[in-house]
Amino acid sequence: MKRYLFFVGLIVFFSSSSSIDRFNIADKPKNVLFIVVDDLSTTLSCYGAEGVITPNVDKLSNRGVKFERAYCQASLCNPSRASIMTGRRPDNLRILSNEPHFRGIHPKIITLPEHFKANGYHTVGIGKIFHNWGQALQGDPQSWSEPETNHWATHYSDWYIKERPYQIHSDIKKGPAVQYADVPDEAYLDGRIADAAVNKLRQLKETPFFMAVGLWKPHLPYNAPKKYWDLYDRNKLPELRYPQPINGVPDLAYVDSNEARSYTDVPKQGELSLDKKLELRHGYLAAISYMDAQVGKILDELDRLDLTNKTTIVFLSDHGYHAGEHGQFGKWTNFEVGTRVPLIISSPEIKHLNNATNSIVELVDLYPTLIDLHRLPKPKEYGKLDGISLKPILKNTNHTVKSYAISQISRPLGSGENFDILGSTIRDKDHRYTIWTNRTRNEIIGEEFYDLSNDIMKVENQIINPKFSHSKQELNRKLAEILRQ
């Protein structure tokens, strides 16, 4: 009898253990919805941007953890997106410009969606996920379970409604920087991307998926249906803290609105008029609200399909952006506004909602974070990743996983490693230090140091202030330690 009870006990024990294992497996997030938008700074209501209308991203922020100090690794599309999707720094990838495609240098590297695909997930890319020049027009087929929905690769006129076509190549004249036709959302590209995402969610509702959705807005041109422009009064736009370039900052730090000047209605040189600046800023805010509406459509469908409580949702921008700040319109800078990005993560594993954290994180951390959250086996290259899992912060927003964030950008915008000057910046809890180096002469040609301890957006170059000499030396040493020399 005792032997019988012993075996019954073993059966109950192992049955219980098995049940626990099955529960844990079933309880982990089933899907990933990875929403990446283009050229969005933290100009969102949930990040404290007054007068900016973004109810859907705000709602997502209430569902999860908002990272107040998240930083890109390059304020330019190709190096940033390659870094995000491979978990490697641009310096490690040797990609600091808009060309080449990362596969040209690292043909066997395993991307984030590719690793999910290898572990049983159906992976889908809709819109702009990787960059969109040259080879990248083909996307990255091995990352996905089905061909990408590359709207931009097949419809070069999709930026505008039909009567104002657009050519994507830089050697062909572009159209105007703004357009606000009275049309439905789907008349512009992001509306169609959102519709494609909604339809794909319906198809995959019973299948574990990794769906990446890349929305173009608020990237130039600032095109959005008129109803989003009508949300803002151009004479009462939110004020800019620094409407002009800052004295004492090296000229290298700025780009003179070169991206905006490539459009037909923006002067090629000279200071932009106040009216033009207001029009462009108005367009940027309208494009943000249009983007927000598309995010809302996708999240609403996730709710309708009862998938929200089974899905890790990540919302991010590929890098920051100047929309009038410092008198600039464009990216490609190492300032806080150029490198700081919105990042929100919502997951079934997060117990406390509507949380924010001031812990420093980097976009390169997303690769190991999603592997960790979904309990996937680590890829063979895991030890080569430059990021750190953010799961401890998701569990406790007071936790920290790193003390520094690093970004890099080139001057001029070259191809591959064909550029003269490299700007590298490091951000710790209280300071930002930036160094500009002539690569040919191996010579420092510019430095910046900002005290952000009391004001995260303060721009006053303290590089010659002896008060910060020790902090500068420490950040210089750490920057050299982390980056490839």
What domains sit in the chain, N to C, each tagged with a CATH number? 29-395 (3.40.720.10)
Contact between 117 and 102 under an 8 Å Cβ cutoff? The reply is: no
CA distance 320 to 334: 9
**What is the pLDDT, as a whole number, of residue 18?**
32
Contact between 404 and 392 under an 8 Å Cβ cutoff? The reply is: no
**What is the pLDDT, as a whole number, of residue 434?**
98
**What is the pLDDT, as a whole number, of residue 191?**
94
Q: Indicate the pTM of the whole model.
A: 0.91
Catalytic residue among 46, 72, 77, 319: 77
Structure tokens at 316: 């991010």
Q: What is the pLDDT tens value at each position of the chain, 485 positions in all?
A: 444 444 434 333 333 333 222 223 345 689 999 999 999 999 999 999 999 999 999 999 999 999 999 999 999 999 999 999 999 999 999 998 887 888 988 899 999 999 999 999 999 999 999 986 554 456 799 999 998 876 554 444 457 776 554 444 444 457 899 999 999 999 898 999 999 999 999 999 999 999 999 999 999 999 999 999 999 999 999 999 999 999 999 999 999 999 999 999 999 999 999 999 999 999 999 999 999 999 999 999 999 999 999 999 999 999 999 999 999 999 999 999 999 999 999 999 887 677 999 999 999 999 999 999 999 999 988 888 999 999 999 999 999 999 999 999 999 877 777 789 999 999 999 999 999 999 889 899 999 999 999 999 999 999 999 999 999 999 999 999 988 64
Q: Is the dihedral of CA 378, 379, 381, 385 positive or negative?
A: negative
**What is the pLDDT, as a whole number, of residue 173?**
55
Residue 326, phi-psi category: left (phi > 0), alpha (psi -120 to 50), beta (remainder): left
**What is the pLDDT, as a whole number, of residue 133?**
56
**What is the pLDDT, as a whole number, of residue 6?**
40
Reply yes or no on whether 77 is catalytic: yes
Cβ-Cβ contacts under 8 Å for 313 (sequence gap 6 or more): 33, 35, 60, 63, 64, 299, 302, 344, 345, 346, 347
Reply yes or no on whether 131 is catalytic: yes
CA distance 148 to 256: 35
Contact between 339 and 75 under an 8 Å Cβ cutoff? The reply is: yes
Which residues is 427 bridged to in the sheet?
405, 432
Catalytic residue among 106, 115, 131, 282: 131
Q: Is the dihedral of CA 271, 275, 278, 280 positive or negative?
A: negative
SS3 of the chain: the string is CHHHHHHHHHHHHHHHHHHHHHHHHHHCCCEEEEEEECCCCCCCHHHCCCCCCCHHHHHHHHHCEEEEEEECCCCCHHHHHHHHHHCCCHHHHCCCCCCCCHHHCCCCCCCHHHHHHHCCCEEEEEECCCCCCHHHHHCCHHHCCCCCECHHHHCHHHHCCCCCCCCCCCCCCCCCCEECCCCCHHHCHHHHHHHHHHHHHHHCCCCCEEEEEEECCCCCCEECCHHHHCCCCHHHCCCCCCCCCCCCCCHHHCCCCCCHHHCCCCCCCCCCCHHHHHHHHHHHHHHHHHHHHHHHHHHHHHHHCCCHHHEEEEEEECCCCEECHHHCEECCCCCHHHHEEEEEEECCCCCCCCEEECCCEEHHHHHHHHHHHCCCCCCCCHHHCCCCCCHHHHHCCCCCCCCCEEEEEEECCCECCECCEEEEEEECCCEEEEEEEECCCCEEEEEEEEECCCCCCCCCCCCCCHHHHHHHHHHHHHHHHHCCC
